[in-house]
Structure 1
């Protein structure tokens, strides 16, 4: 079944809510969870994706089959196979498009954004014996690999191994010239944190594509994972507002105001609530 440009199947299938607050993250790989989230949002077949990924893993494993040590030589061979021979790369020209975020589309197109490319790369690394982890780095997703003789960091957007100095420059470029790289920034993030980041990227892509309904599905997943996330409740309120679900939007804005009364956006939300209530009252009168 093919996805259209916005990542929607032509004949959507009904998926149960398989991503939820009580999910056992240890029971699934990062890629499995990402594909489960995608399946729930778009109707993409998980089995079809798994078949495609299985073929990809056969290719990668064949390239490193004679290398038994988890060292830099084996890692570079794998990266050359993925990024040079097979042509995986970041897509600068359409960076914020849905097709660059959905892992199934990234696998088939071999183009994407750092987090989706990174999730795929981590799966390939782990399946070939490496200890690989994801980092939600300030400038974009980074892959951390523990080798026999030390730790290396990979930019999944281009497959380059980056050193500490390059990571420092990325931090300063994102957070300002006075920002500095800290040890905490290089700590591997949990599977839960990465999946939340992945779904958030999907949500942002759908918002840019003006597909508010699918953005709302992303928000629903995020709130299932963390029901008390006031900022996500606020964001869902904006989505409800765009869908003219004014009462639901007011409820979400009110919750955020109660939870974060000192936030700078509170006054704006209060005006939004008043405006939506006024419009609702005017419609009721007429």
Structure 2
């Protein structure tokens, strides 16, 4: 299974949003209709704000995105794939912060406001630099944060386990963004128990990070759920060999031993 649009993310040949649209197309044949509708909405939005500039324009786009278009955080504590795949987020107007951030970033770009995704703990933020100052948009509900607020939030999220540094707030590279997005999607599809789709997402992640033992372990789990035990064995064995000290490796060793033990049939 190959995904050519994911194989060169380290070189950032394609825009991130184009890759994420392609991911949606993989799962939904009607994806393009939602994408087309969204671009019409943000074109109209951009035209309404042609006389504005800088921070004022960003604030106007945020207002339109969350209040006029009605985008909001997903209501469920554990979300399904419809809250992550961008075409369905457009349709339902609800999604995880990573998906909202990508859509808001594209809306801002159409209005001429350039933002960057920051790999913030918990979920990404959008960064906007203006007149030698950085502002950060919380994609959960559009709150605009400044320096001290960002530092306080970082310390709350990390519980002071990590020392704060502004170096952490540089723009995330495409590989980091896509790994984060696809990991959320993988977990959602496993939660939905749509294991064939989850397997596709794992292969997407492996296109970005080939031979990643953790993705191969997760592929083993999905294959096990799909009743492909021998393929799961191969993946679990690879993980145990590559990560022998990982806490999950001991459980997998026991599972592999159980599967390898001769089965006694009672007559």
The answer (yes or no) to whether the contact 1:237–1:253 under 8 Å persists in 2 is yes
1:174 partnered with 2:160? no
Name the counterpart of 1:123.
Answer: 106
1:57 partnered with 2:42? yes
Distance 1:252 1:52, change over 3 A: same
The answer (yes or no) to whether the contact 1:19–1:37 under 8 Å persists in 2 is no
1:258 partnered with 2:244? no
1:90-129 correspondence runs (5 A): 90-93=73-76, 96-129=79-112
Structure 2 length as normaliser, TM-score?
0.90
- What is the Cα deviation at residue 22 of structure 1? 3.2
Secondary structure at 2:3's aligned position in 1?
A: coil
Distance 1:66 1:89 in 2: 27
Measured against aligned partners, the alpha-carbon deviations of 1:24-44 in whole angstroms (never above 9, x if no partner) come to: 86443222111111212x133
Name the counterpart of 2:205.
Answer: 222
Distance 1:110 1:59 in 2: 17
Distance 1:283 1:213 in 2: 32
Distance 1:95 1:163 in 2: 30
- What is the Cα deviation at residue 101 of structure 1? 0.7
Name the counterpart of 1:155.
Answer: 138
Name the counterpart of 1:6.
Answer: none
The answer (yes or no) to whether the contact 2:35–2:87 under 8 Å persists in 1 is no
Name the counterpart of 2:256.
Answer: 273
Distance 1:172 1:148, change over 3 A: closer
- What is the Cα deviation at residue 96 of structure 1? 1.4
Distance 1:284 1:119 in 2: 55
1:139 partnered with 2:122? yes
Distance 2:254 2:12 in 1: 44
Distance 2:259 2:157 in 1: 36
Distance 1:178 1:229, change over 3 A: closer
Please, which of 3, 13, 19 is the counterpart of residue 33 of structure 1? 19
Name the counterpart of 1:242.
Answer: 225
Distance 2:186 2:160 in 1: 30
Measured against aligned partners, the alpha-carbon deviations of 1:48-95 in whole angstroms (never above 9, x if no partner) come to: 24312221221220221112x3x2111111111111222111123355
Distance 1:74 1:116 in 2: 21
- Worse-matched range after superposition: 231-240 or 174-183: 174-183
- What is the Cα deviation at residue 186 of structure 1? 1.0
Distance 1:283 1:168 in 2: 61
Secondary structure at 2:79's aligned position in 1?
A: coil
Distance 2:203 2:221 in 1: 13
**Structure 2 gap ranges (5+):** none
Distance 2:179 2:29 in 1: 19
Distance 1:102 1:283, change over 3 A: farther
Question: In angstroms, what is the RMSD of aligned CA positions?
Answer: 2.5
The answer (yes or no) to whether the contact 2:138–2:144 under 8 Å persists in 1 is yes
Distance 2:103 2:128 in 1: 14
